[in-house]
Amino acid sequence: MSIKFLSIAVQYKWCIPMLPDLRSELRALQRQNRYRAVRCVETCQEPRIRIDGRGLVLFCSNNYLGLATHPALKRAAVEALNIYGSSTAASALISGYMPPHAELESRMARFLGTEAAIVFPTGYAANLGVIPALINRGDIIFSDQLNHRSIIDGCRLSRAQIAVYRHCDIAHLESLLKTAASYRRRLIVTDGVFSMDGDIAPLPELVSLAEQYEAILMVDDAHATGALGPRGRGTFEYFGLSPHAIDIHMTSGSKALGASGGFICGSADLIALIRNRSAAYIYTTAMPPDACASTTAALDLVQRDAGLRQRLWRNTKIICERLRAMGFDLAQSQTQIVPVRVGDAQRTVAISDDLYHRGIYLYGIRPPTVPEGQSRLRLSVMATHTDEDMARLFDAMAAVRRAFF
Ligand SMILES: Cc1ncc(COP(=O)(O)O)c(C=O)c1O
């Protein structure tokens, strides 16, 4: 508690009685095994990391292709830093938009095959910004039950009617769409690859429903861009769809691209409207120039080097086959995101701690990130994991299996 906050609290007497109340909320989080403490990673985001001086193998990073430490990304960032400095120091619409932003937006649009793109500082900001910019009261949003929190928050901010459909359940979605003809606009929004389950949205069916019921289709491909599809263009490419089948492409630079930024891609008019309307774009400082430059460099690499994806899928296959053979429940995972289902939050924390002491860093995911009773270890595979890294994982998981299951 800062002194400043306390003195304000004392001045306005209403604050003081609230403090014990807040403290009891914190204690409740601890009691329910929902408390989260940060651990400081003292190295780069590579498979071998150090925390508190202890060497660990990292199995919970979204740096799927290992690009976060790639020399080409570092070089691009340093060059941009030298030319443009460390901050944009203003909103993009005031004076914060610089050549690295223009370059990144046009490269991202070209990469995905859309007319235009807009860069937000993060993927979270992109989702929060785009939905209320287009959808408001009098409209309706159809949102997959397991969509990412940034989509949920964007939906809430829009003040539209929200209809949550059962996870990937096309029949349920259609039954909801049938009752929504009177709304001004209909938006269907889904993760491409689900962030906590690693399964893939049924995109061809969603595209058909969107057409049939005149709905806008938005796909959050944060975990698919760079990873899925022959050229790493994401879920639509994985299914052999045209980019134009999706009205609003959302993605993040901070996962397989190993960089940063949030992106909305689509028609030139759509992007122009978002640039003019989105509070999360207008009322924040534009992404730093060096971050733009490293993301652009990552786009070059993912297109040029299909070997990165081949290594990712090779490692994913080895890990999934071995863990399933050991008897672990990996749900419906189809990708590099591999949920190891545990169920109980307390047991999940205990297993994660046990693995930590065995030299494996694998984070336990608990409510509210996942529903009650569905806690899990969210394992994410990297193209840069070596056979030795995986062997250490299997030894530790075998020990955990004996001790906890
Ligand atoms: C599906 C999904 N969308 C959006 C985001 C937010 O992206 P960013 O990390 O760039 O803010 C995430 C991040 O975890 C995500 O998993």
Among the ranges given (27-36, 148-157, 339-348), the one the predictor scored with the smallest mean pLDDT: 27-36
> Could you tell me how far CA 339 lies from the centroid of its own chain?
15
Question: What's the CATH number where 312 sits?
Answer: 3.90.1150.10
CA of 286 to the centre of ligand 1 (A): 18
Q: C-alpha angle 309/315/321, rounded to 5°?
A: 130
Mutate to test the pocket of ligand 1, among 119, 120, 124 (most ligand atoms within 8 A of CB): 124
Q: pLDDT at residue 33 above 90?
A: no
Sign of CA dihedral 257, 245, 311, 382: positive
User: How many alpha carbons lie under 13 Å from residue 293 in its C-beta half-sphere?
Assistant: 23
Residues with CB under 6 A from ligand 1: 122-124, 127, 148, 150, 191, 195, 220, 222-223, 252, 254, 262
Residue ID of nearest Cα to ligand 1 atom 10: 123
Last residue of a domain, one of 256, 273, 304: 304
Structure tokens at 139: 């409209």
**Token match 């899928």: residue?**
313
Q: Which atom of ligand 1 is nearest to the CA of 148?
A: 1
CA of 224 to the centre of ligand 1 (A): 11
Q: What is the pTM of this model?
A: 0.94
Among the ranges given (8-22, 60-74, 114-128, 361-375), the one the predictor scored with the smallest mean pLDDT: 8-22
Within this chain, do residues 263 and 137 fall inside the same structural domain, yes or no?
A: yes
Secondary structure element (H or E) that encloses residue 265, with its range: strand 262-266
Amino acid 10: pLDDT: 55
Within this chain, do residues 248 and 141 fall inside the same structural domain, yes or no?
A: yes
21 confidence band (pLDDT: 50, 70, 90) = confident
Last residue of a domain, one of 304, 329, 344: 304
d(CA 222, CA 374): 22
- Model confidence over 348-363: pLDDT tens digits? 999 999 999 999 999 9
CA of 122 to the centre of ligand 1 (A): 8
Q: Which domain holds residue 318?
A: 34-63+306-404
In the chain, the percentage of residues whose pLDDT exceeds 70 is 96
Within this chain, do residues 368 and 229 fall inside the same structural domain, yes or no?
A: no
Closest C-alpha to 341, from 354, 327, 353: 327
d(CA 231, CA 239): 12
Structure tokens at 109: 């649009």
Within this chain, do residues 121 and 39 fall inside the same structural domain, yes or no?
A: no
Q: Is residue 97 in a domain?
A: yes
**Token match 């490419």: residue?**
237
Based on the number of CB atoms within 10 Å of its own CB, is 388 exposed (0-12), middle (13-18) or buried (19 or more)? exposed
Strands of 48-51's sheet in order across: 48-51, 54-58, 360-361
- Model confidence over 274-294: pLDDT tens digits? 999 999 999 999 999 999 999
- Model confidence over 172-211: pLDDT tens digits? 999 999 999 999 999 999 999 999 999 999 999 999 999 9
Q: Do residues 318 and 392 make contact, with C-beta atoms less than 8 angstroms apart? A: no
CA of 272 to the centre of ligand 1 (A): 23
Q: Which atom of ligand 1 is nearest to the CA of 195?
A: 16
Q: Do residues 154 and 133 make contact, with C-beta atoms less than 8 angstroms apart? A: no
Within this chain, do residues 47 and 153 fall inside the same structural domain, yes or no?
A: no
Alpha carbon separation from 385 to 259, 379, 380 (Å, rounded): 19, 12, 10
Residue ID of nearest Cα to ligand 1 atom 8: 123
Dihedrals phi, psi of 14, to nearest 5 degrees: -60, -20
Q: Is residue 298 in a domain?
A: yes
Within this chain, do residues 51 and 85 fall inside the same structural domain, yes or no?
A: no
Within this chain, do residues 191 and 149 fall inside the same structural domain, yes or no?
A: yes
